[in-house]
């Protein structure tokens, strides 16, 4: 199968903190890959290095056969990124923001369809700053999909969304995956990871402590439920307690 994202021995430190240490990732076309780990484990740093918005200390990254730093412009035509709020200006309506984003791409999706799909159509004329937290989050996912991307990066996918909205986002991503979209996401919700991810990496203090499928993660732990297994992997005290 065609490899869409390939990461080799990626390392990034901030002074004395080794935020990401020797991670290897391989994601095929149409796969959903979940980067997991507790707060501060290194997920955002890893994503930023993969996207090329942060420079790694060592290691290589290839997305769609391109080097994200060298081929930045060409690559950004073909990928979508869910940005967090700080990246958007305040005084802009939902429709205006979508139009600006759409104008940046050669063959974008029609944003109106995305706004309908994400339950934001009736908010088109509202200021972005007036949306609720969950509405903003859905708008940012829609922004990531406007380029009609081949690969999408979603950091903290459904944080802040209500139960219905989370299910709607899952469904939309599953449909896009079936059409060949490759997805790299981070999430703190293990039900979401189970529902969406083909493969996962669990990071702890910048190191990969598990790489494989959710099923393999469960099997290699003493637990039957993925969330229990995940906590076992990430929680050192629990692990020591278990092995006594
Ligand atoms: N700009 C920075 N300067 C110094 N240290 C940083 C910087 N950004 C992150 N770190 C540190 O690097 C480590 C990894 O942080 P990172 O934000 O990548 O984690 P994360 O897994 O995304 O966490 P969260 O789930 O809280 O978003 C942490 O110890 C953090 O304090």
CA of 20 to the centre of ligand 1 (A): 9
Q: Whose CA is nearest to atom 18 of ligand 1?
A: 42
**Residue 33 pLDDT grade (very low, low, confident, very high; cuts 50, 70, 90):** very high
Residue 36: what pLDDT?
Answer: 97
Q: What is the pTM of this model?
A: 0.91
In tens, the pLDDT along 70-84 reads 999 899 999 999 876
Residue 163: what pLDDT?
Answer: 87
In tens, the pLDDT along 166-180 reads 888 888 889 889 989
For residue 243, is pLDDT > 60? Answer: no
User: Apex CA 40: angle with CA 39 and CA 45, to 5°?
Assistant: 120
CA of 154 to the centre of ligand 1 (A): 17
ipTM of this complex > 0.85?
Answer: yes
Mean pLDDT of 185-209: 95
Sheet holding 17-28, edge to edge: 17-28, 3-14, 58-63
User: Apex CA 47: angle with CA 200 and CA 197, to 5°?
Assistant: 25
Average pLDDT, the chain: 91
In tens, the pLDDT along 152-166 reads 999 887 888 888 888
Q: Whose CA is nearest to atom 2 of ligand 1?
A: 14
Residue 86: what pLDDT?
Answer: 59
Domains of the chain: 1-78+151-163+181-244 (3.40.50.300), 84-149 (no CATH)
Helices (H), the chain: 43-51, 72-76, 94-103, 111-117, 133-145, 163-178, 190-196, 214-219, 226-234, 236-243
Ligand 1 neighbours (beta carbon < 6 A): 14, 17, 19, 37, 39-45
- With tokens 């999430």, the residue in question is 187
CA of 45 to the centre of ligand 1 (A): 6
Q: Whose CA is nearest to atom 12 of ligand 1?
A: 19
């Amino acid at each position: 199968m065609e490899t869409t994202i390939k990461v080799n021995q990626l390392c990034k430190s901030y002074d004395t903190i080794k935020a990401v240490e020797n991670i290897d990732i391989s994601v095929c076309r149409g796969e959903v890959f979940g980067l997991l780990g507790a707060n501060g484990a290194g997920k955002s740093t890893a994503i930023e290095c993969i996207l090329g918005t942060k420079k790694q200390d060592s290691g290589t990254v290839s997305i769609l056969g391109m080097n994200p730093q060298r081929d930045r412009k060409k690559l950004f035509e073909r990928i979508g990124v869910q940005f967090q709020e700080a990246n958007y200006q305040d005084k802009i309506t939902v429709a205006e923001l979508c139009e600006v984003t759409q104008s940046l791409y050669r063959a974008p999706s029609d944003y109106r369809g995305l706004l309908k799909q994400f339950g934001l159509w009736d908010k088109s004329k509202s200021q972005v700053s007036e949306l609720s937290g969950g509405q903003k989050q859905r708008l940012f996912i829609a922004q990531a999909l406007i380029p009609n991307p081949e690969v999408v990066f979603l950091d903290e996918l459904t944080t802040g969304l209500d139960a219905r909205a989370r299910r709607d986002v899952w469904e939309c991503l599953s449909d896009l995956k079936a059409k060949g979209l490759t997805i790299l996401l981070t999430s703190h919700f293990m039900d979401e990871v189970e529902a969406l991810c083909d493969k996962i990496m669990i990071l702890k203090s910048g190191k990969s402590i598990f790489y494989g499928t959710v099923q393999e993660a469960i099997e290699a732990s003493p637990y039957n439920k993925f969330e229990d297994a995940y906590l076992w992997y990430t929680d050192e005290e629990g692990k020591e307690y278990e092995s006594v």
